[in-house]
């Protein structure tokens, strides 16, 4: 008897739905969802929503007569074109940015070239150059404000001793000197960033090309101009774009040193936006000021994202020219012309030096082909010249830190009497005793530890989960989420602090720990995720596949296999996140009003009442605030470099 025809069982509806969802969202979407959902909620809730809300807010204005908020369209933006305060703030911002970038680039490149040559104690000097990056922003501002003080500061006596000035100058109170003074501090703070990135670029330049150029008779200037700089083009562009975004949107350093004064001489657009929105409660006009630079920031972020996400395989599609390619070609041409102008005096000077040496050789009646100096003499002269150049740079880097420490060990009468300016006599700890007993310093310290620790833990945990999903799992939207992370990392905090203030007010979180704990991860998460993604790519995927075959779940494989191998990256991003949370000023300044909740940067700033500056206690507080960070970086420097290097290269 023949069996009846086999009729396959229909696929269950749940299985069919799963298959359909996998086609739409990717095969790993179910597994990826718990990994990325917490980060997506934070990114959407605290960046995307406040940003869109701010766009709407910028078209409103407060009617002070009725107390109602009315829609005014684009009138807030139109008024900016005739607002003298705004125009002056933009002029100040551009001046501050251009001069800071120029000096930082020249200084950073010079230091990088020196560190890339044969130099005794090179590792020690490199560590010294990192100090300005480690020091908290509030400590930097207080240190330099003390140095600039016309009565008690150390700069005037030094310059008078060398005959550079004949009478004390009010560096931060003179409208003509205030801007150059804050630019100098910004340069000091930015030296490590430029030095480290440009030094990495120099190490990547092909040595064979340099040797070939030297054989062809190219002098040192020509080799640097036509071989070294083209080989560093990628690093230079990324460095300048990152620095431009950061410098253009500076707030804390300038605000802490001058408050935007004197007479608006250092009021940049970010300070004006804060004054309008937070101090005057004109949120609409304040947001309009902050968002007036949004088009420029978007272009810069787009260009920078293109470079940081550049695919090496793109070279095979070189016949395709995009708009960004054309923009960068124009930029390269302008940059080349700029370099020709910059290097022309040096080339003329080098030619003049060569002619001088030829004249000396002719007077000595020696062989014209014979070098004027022997090889060992040239090497010795080169080493001496490099040391001579480095000495003032090292003093420039170290002096503010030295000034903070010695001032903290002086008595108040000694500071006022200007006796033994550079060495305490006698050494005393009375400023530290007064700080602990007479101020809420321990409360500020406790608050900072709580906020920095919790926000760091949240950032690292969520970043590790998201980085694993974006690297190992296949789901739709992973590429867009990765790009969104990069854009978020580059988005200036000055464009978000006003809408975030409004959002936190609506949530009832203003003036609470929560205001800082949930907002700090906004800018810590993207960087941490980016670095961890690069590190996970360096871990063999076969290790996880073996664990999955043995029956482990994705989460189990991540927890038992991948996470332990990520220890260097976890340590590096934890250190970076903790340091940034420890030093953060803008959000804490805007979101916290209660003295019992102040963090260290805001607490130190609150010790300044009008024109009264208790320099002894301020310097003692600055020293105690900087010590934990310096200790951590001292013992974890190699750990940090390993984690960031692997993550940065692979990511």
- The reply to whether 10 falls in a domain is no
Asked if 527 and 577 sit in the same domain, the reply is yes
3-state secondary structure of 71: strand
Query: Which residues constitute the domain of residue 141?
Result: 73-298
- The reply to whether 142 falls in a domain is yes
How many domains does the chain contain in total?
2
Position 362 scores a pLDDT of 64
**Token reading at 624:** 């105690």
* pLDDT band at residue 350 under the 50/70/90 scheme: low
| Of the candidates 255, 259, 291, the residue with the CA atom closest to the CA atom of residue 55 | 291
Asked if 34 and 160 sit in the same domain, the reply is no
**Exposed (0-12), middle (13-18) or buried (19+): which is 626, by Cβ within 10 Å?**
buried
Measure the CA angle with vertex 523, ends 239 and 275; round to 5°: 95
Asked if 51 and 166 sit in the same domain, the reply is no
Measure the CA angle with vertex 427, ends 422 and 429; round to 5°: 120
Asked if 171 and 39 sit in the same domain, the reply is no
Question: Which residues are bridge partners to 37 per DSSP?
Answer: none
Asked if 40 and 155 sit in the same domain, the reply is no
Asked if 121 and 40 sit in the same domain, the reply is no
pLDDT in tens, 217-237: 776 777 777 788 778 877 888
pTM of the predicted protein model: 0.82
**Exposed (0-12), middle (13-18) or buried (19+): which is 264, by Cβ within 10 Å?**
middle
Asked if 126 and 44 sit in the same domain, the reply is no
Asked if 194 and 291 sit in the same domain, the reply is yes
Asked if 39 and 167 sit in the same domain, the reply is no
| Of the candidates 402, 435, 401, 407, the residue with the CA atom closest to the CA atom of residue 419 | 407
Asked if 199 and 53 sit in the same domain, the reply is no
- The reply to whether 526 falls in a domain is yes
pLDDT in tens, 13-69: 555 555 665 566 666 777 788 888 888 888 888 888 888 888 888 898 877 666 677
Position 311 scores a pLDDT of 44
- The reply to whether 505 falls in a domain is yes
**Token reading at 221:** 């200037």
Q: Please identify, among 298, 322, 340, the residue that sits at the C-terminal boundary of a domain.
A: 298
- The reply to whether 513 falls in a domain is yes
Q: Report d(CA 125, CA 535) in Å as an integer.
A: 29
Q: Please identify, among 273, 298, 323, the residue that sits at the C-terminal boundary of a domain.
A: 298
- The reply to whether 62 falls in a domain is no
Position 359 scores a pLDDT of 64
Asked if 88 and 42 sit in the same domain, the reply is no
Mean pLDDT of 547-563: 84
CATH code: domain of residue 527: 1.10.3720.10
Measure the CA angle with vertex 482, ends 549 and 636; round to 5°: 80
Question: Residue 480 pLDDT more than 90?
Answer: no
Position 343 scores a pLDDT of 64
Asked if 97 and 228 sit in the same domain, the reply is yes
Position 188 scores a pLDDT of 95
């Amino acid at each position: 008897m023949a069996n009846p025809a086999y009729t396959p069982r229909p696929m269950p509806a749940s299985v069919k739905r799963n298959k359909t969802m996998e086609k739409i969202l990717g095969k790993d979407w179910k597994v990826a969802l718990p990994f990325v959902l917490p980060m997506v909620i934070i990114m959407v809730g605290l960046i995307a929503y406040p940003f869109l809300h701010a766009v709407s807010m910028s078209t409103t204005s407060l009617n002070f007569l009725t107390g109602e908020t009315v829609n005014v369209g684009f009138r807030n933006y139109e008024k900016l074109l005739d607002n003298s305060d705004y125009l002056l703030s933009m002029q100040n911002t551009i001046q501050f940015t251009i001069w800071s970038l120029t000096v930082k680039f020249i200084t950073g490149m010079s230091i990088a070239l020196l560190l890339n040559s044969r130099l005794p104690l090179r590792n020690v000097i490199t560590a010294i150059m990192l100090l300005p990056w480690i020091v908290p922003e509030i400590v930097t501002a207080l240190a330099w404000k003390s140095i600039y003080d016309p009565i008690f500061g150390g700069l005037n006596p030094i310059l008078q001793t060398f005959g550079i000035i004949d009478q004390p100058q009010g560096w931060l109170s003179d409208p003509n000197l205030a801007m150059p003074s804050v630019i100098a501090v910004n340069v000091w703070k930015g030296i490590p960033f430029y030095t480290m990135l440009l030094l990495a670029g120099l190490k990547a330049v092909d040595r064979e090309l340099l040797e070939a150029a030297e054989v062809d008779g190219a002098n040192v200037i020509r080799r640097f101009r036509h071989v070294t700089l083209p080989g560093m083009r990628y690093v230079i562009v990324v460095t300048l774009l990152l620095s431009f975004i950061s410098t253009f949107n500076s707030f804390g350093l300038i605000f802490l040193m001058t408050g935007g004064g004197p007479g608006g001489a250092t009021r940049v657009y970010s300070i004006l936006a804060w004054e309008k929105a937070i101090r005057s409660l004109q949120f609409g006009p304040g947001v309009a000021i902050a968002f007036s630079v949004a088009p420029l920031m978007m272009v810069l972020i787009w260009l920078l994202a293109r470079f940081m996400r550049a695919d090496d395989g793109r070279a095979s599609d070189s016949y395709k020219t995009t708009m960004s390619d054309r923009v960068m070609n124009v930029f390269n041409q302008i940059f080349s012309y700029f370099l020709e102008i910059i290097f022309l005096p040096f080339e003329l000077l080098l030619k003049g030096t060569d002619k001088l040496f030829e004249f000396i050789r002719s007077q000595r009646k020696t062989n014209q082909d014979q070098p004027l100096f022997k090889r060992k003499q040239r090497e010795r002269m080169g080493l001496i010249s490099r040391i001579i150049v480095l000495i003032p740079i090292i003093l420039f880097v170290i002096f503010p830190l030295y000034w903070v420490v010695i001032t903290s060990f002086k008595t108040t009468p000694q500071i006022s009497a200007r006796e033994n300016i550079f060495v305490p006599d006698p050494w005393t700890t009375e400023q530290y005793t007064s700080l602990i007993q007479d101020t809420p310093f321990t409360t500020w310290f406790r608050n900072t530890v709580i906020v920095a620790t919790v926000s760091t833990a949240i950032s690292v945990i969520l970043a590790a989960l998201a980085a694993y999903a974006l690297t190992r799992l296949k789901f739709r939207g992973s590429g867009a989420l990765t790009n969104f992370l990069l854009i978020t990392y580059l988005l200036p905090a000055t464009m978000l602090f006003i809408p975030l203030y409004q959002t936190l007010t609506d949530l009832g979180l203003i003036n609470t720990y929560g205001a800082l704990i949930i907002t700090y991860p906004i800018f810590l998460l993207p960087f941490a995720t980016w670095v961890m993604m690069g590190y996970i790519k360096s871990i063999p995927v076969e290790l996880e596949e073996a664990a999955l075959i043995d029956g482990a779940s994705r989460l189990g494989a991540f927890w038992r296999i991948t996470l332990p191998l990520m220890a260097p990256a976890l340590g590096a991003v934890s250190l970076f996140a903790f340091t940034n949370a420890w030093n953060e000023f803008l959000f804490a300044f805007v979101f916290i009003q209660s003295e019992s909740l102040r963090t260290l940067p805001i607490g130190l700033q609150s010790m300044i009442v009008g024109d009264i500056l208790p320099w002894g206690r301020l310097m003692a507080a600055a020293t105690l605030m900087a010590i934990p960070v310096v200790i951590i970086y001292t013992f974890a420097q190699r750990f940090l470099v390993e984690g960031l290097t692997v993550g940065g290269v692979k990511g």
